[in-house]
Structure 1
Amino acid sequence: MGLSQAQKKAMRSIGHHLDPVVTVAENGLTENVIAELERALADHELIKIKIALSERETRQQLIDTIVQQTQAEVVQTIGKMALFYRRNPNANPKLSNVARANEHHGRH
């Protein structure tokens, strides 16, 4: 898969304005959290997650697990926020954060 630096830069720009769709805290990645991540990635392609854990190593392990379980790609992590992308060729353009941003900027 692998996003180019230009793609990542564009997605960071889109992601800057997004609110986190999921907050992962002490309970970690429960089945419900994974299901919500799957739904959000399918609908929106680009999502922001808040990882409310104080230890940096623990946050990184959680991010690695999310990548393994969802096949998403990490676009950016800043502090306790992480931006993930997973392309969905059948995404609804009205829901996809990527499609909406491209439409908003007049790029097709």
Structure 2
Amino acid sequence: MLTGKQKRYLRSQAHHLSPIFQVGKGGVNDNMIKQIGEALEVRELIKVSILQNCEEDRGEVAEALAEGAEAELVQVIGNTIVLYKESSENKQIVLP
């Protein structure tokens, strides 16, 4: 579980990132969760964009992705989700 200070730090680190995944009409599926988990292992911090044609609620999408990838939900702002997961082999981000 992240503290408020850690989330604030991660939001500042994620500000300049571009979304590398998009959730569309199909919603969240197992393959997407697997790929996001692998991306988190390499990058630790990623953004996911929710497209206009996504039929699910953005809060539900964020929770499903965080739970499936065993990651921390840092922020949901607009149609963008920020996820963090500490890497076991490729640790780059040091939390305050």
Using structure 1 for the length normalisation, give the TM-score. 0.76
- 1:40-59 matches, cutoff 5 A: 40-53=39-52, 58-59=57-58
How much identity, in percent, do the aligned residues show? Answer: 31
Match of 1:64?
A: 63
> Displacement, 1:56?
9.3
Residues of 1 paired with 2:55 and 2:78: CA distance? 8
Residues of 2 paired with 1:36 and 1:46: CA distance? 14
Match of 1:73?
A: 72
Structure with the higher fraction of residues in helix conformation: 1
Contact in 1 for aligned 2:66/2:72 (Cα 8 Å): yes
Residues of 2 paired with 1:60 and 1:52: CA distance? 13
Task: Please list every run of 5 or more consecutive structure 2 residues that lacks an aligned counterpart in the other structure.
Answer: none
Task: Please list every run of 5 or more consecutive structure 1 residues that lacks an aligned counterpart in the other structure.
Answer: 103-108
Instruction: Work out which of the two has the higher radius of gyration on C-alpha atoms and give 1 or 2.
Output: 1
SS of the counterpart of 1:43? helix
Residues of 1 paired with 2:65 and 2:32: CA distance? 10
RMSD of aligned Cα (Å): 2.2
Runs of 4+ more than 3 Å apart: 53-57
SS of the counterpart of 1:20? coil
Residues of 1 paired with 2:61 and 2:14: CA distance? 20
Residues of 2 paired with 1:59 and 1:49: CA distance? 11
Residues of 2 paired with 1:80 and 1:54: CA distance? 11
Residues of 1 paired with 2:61 and 2:75: CA distance? 14
Q: 1:29 to 1:55 in 2, by over 3 A?
A: closer
Match of 2:6?
A: 7
Equivalent position amino acid for 1:39 in 2: E
